[in-house]
Amino acid sequence: MNLSLIRTAATAVLGTGLLAVALLGGGAAIAADPITLKLGYSLPPTSHYGVGADAFAKALAEKTDGKYVVEMFPSNALGGEREMIEGAQFGTIDLVVTSTGPVGNFVPDTLTFDIPFLFRDYAHARGVLDGEIGQAVLDKFPERGLIALAWGENGFRHLTNNKVAVTEPEDVKGLKIRTMQNDVHMRAFTTLGALPTPMAFPEVFTAMQQGTIDGQENPIPVIVSGNFAQVQKYLSLTGHVYSPALFIMAPSRWDELSDAEKTAFKEAAKIGADAMRKQVETFEADGIAKLEAAGMTVVEHPDSARFAEALAPAYAEYEKRFDPELIKRIRAWQP
Ligand code: EAX
């Protein structure tokens, strides 16, 4: 391997201030004239998204002999998730790791997966997404001006707030809860009697700090990596919905790739997704204890069955809006 080349590429990438550290440390070759791709995500580099993006960058370099260098833009540096997805559509951002939160506004088929209490556990969600049903949704992206390389993971979402230790659906009544810009989620919270406030993620911390919202809901890895314990008192492990993540790519970039490169990008995204899922598990293993140590009161067993029951009117609507047969097939999925 030519070390001076690596150093030159490293300096070039370092010069931007934001870089693919994993790539440079990973021992992968960097081609003489590498193509630099911009990848954006909403969480810090140490998050599950950061770990997944780094693993993707490393695998991509290995699979393409260093032709592609991924420059990382973590922590909303390129805007909120909705803006980043628009960036991919326009071709101003090459790659985005995002939750499905705002994706339904672009590819409505993803919304089916945002239905509350649809998946029993991680094995169920991952199995459906990695199988035929998940692939069929990935295949819908091109007609909406986007490429989806692979499903990643954000995790099961739990509720935090500053007013009350939520154990029953009634406790949620009147709470101002920030939701993602996702009308399936908003419908669920309206049905529970909360006041859902759709908001882009970059604004959430300040909104909690200033009390313009009482609470929010996110997976443990996001609550931990976002330091939400600093501004939220109560955490209820509602696990009310599974939050998938995606590796999205700009079609303008995708169209430039050879077939072999397209395969390399997809395989690398799958490796990134696996690393992301592992990191979600790591965060979940010690995250709750960390949040308790940081001062949060944790309700470990809110009444999930009653939450699901209280959502009946919302389910009736989802069944009208989405394919009820598909919902049935997803629910019935077995490993
Ligand atoms: O993708 O907006 C959200 O709450 C997301 O879960 C977060 O940005 C991670």
Report the pLDDT value the prediction gives residue 27, as an integer from 0 to 100: 52
Q: Is residue 60 situated within a structural domain?
A: yes
Tell me if residue 76 falls in helix, strand or coil.
coil
Looking from the CA of 249 toward its CB, the CA atoms found within 13 Å total 23
Considering only 5-19, 65-79, 234-248, 320-334, which range has the smallest mean pLDDT? 5-19
Structure tokens of 125?
Answer: 């969600």
CA–centroid distance, residue 94 to ligand 1 (Å): 20
Q: Judge if the beta carbon of residue 242 lies within 6 A of ligand 1.
A: no
Q: How far is the CA of 98 from the centre of ligand 1 (A)?
A: 8
pLDDT in tens, 50-59: 999 999 999 9
Q: What is the mean pLDDT of residues 16-29?
A: 48
Residue 4 within a domain: no
In CATH, what number is assigned to the domain containing residue 173? 3.40.190.170
Verify whether ligand 1 is closer than 6 Å to residue 201 (CB atom): yes
Residue 72 lies in a domain: yes
Could you tell me which residues are beta bridge partners of residue 35?
68
Determine if ligand 1 sits within 6 Å of the CB of residue 182: no
Residue given tokens 């707030």 in the structure block: 161
2 inside domain? no
Residue 21 forms part of a structural domain: no
Residue 29 pLDDT grade (very low, low, confident, very high; cuts 50, 70, 90): low
190 is in which domain, residue-wise?
33-332
243 lines ligand 1 (CB under 6 A): yes
Q: Model pTM greater than 0.85?
A: yes
CA 77, CA 142: separation in Å to the nearest integer?
26
- The alpha carbon of 285 and the centre of ligand 1 are apart by a number of angstroms equal to 20
Q: How confident is the model at residue 31 (pLDDT cuts 50, 70, 90)?
A: confident
User: Who contacts 79 (Cβ-Cβ below 8 Å, separation ≥6)?
Assistant: 40, 87, 202
pLDDT tens-digit series, residues 178-227:
999 999 999 999 999 999 999 999 999 999 999 999 999 999 999 999 99
Q: Does residue 138 lie in a domain region?
A: yes
Tell me if 15 is assigned to some domain.
no
Residue 101 Cβ inside 6 Å of ligand 1? The answer reads yes
Count up the domains in the chain and report the number: 1
The 8-class DSSP code of residue 324 comes to H
Q: List pLDDT tens digits, range 253-276.
A: 999 999 999 999 999 999 999 999
pLDDT at 92 over 60: yes
The answer as to whether 230 is a domain residue is yes
Q: Which two tokens stand for residue 140?
A: 């819908």
What is the Å distance from ligand 1's center to 194 Cα? 19
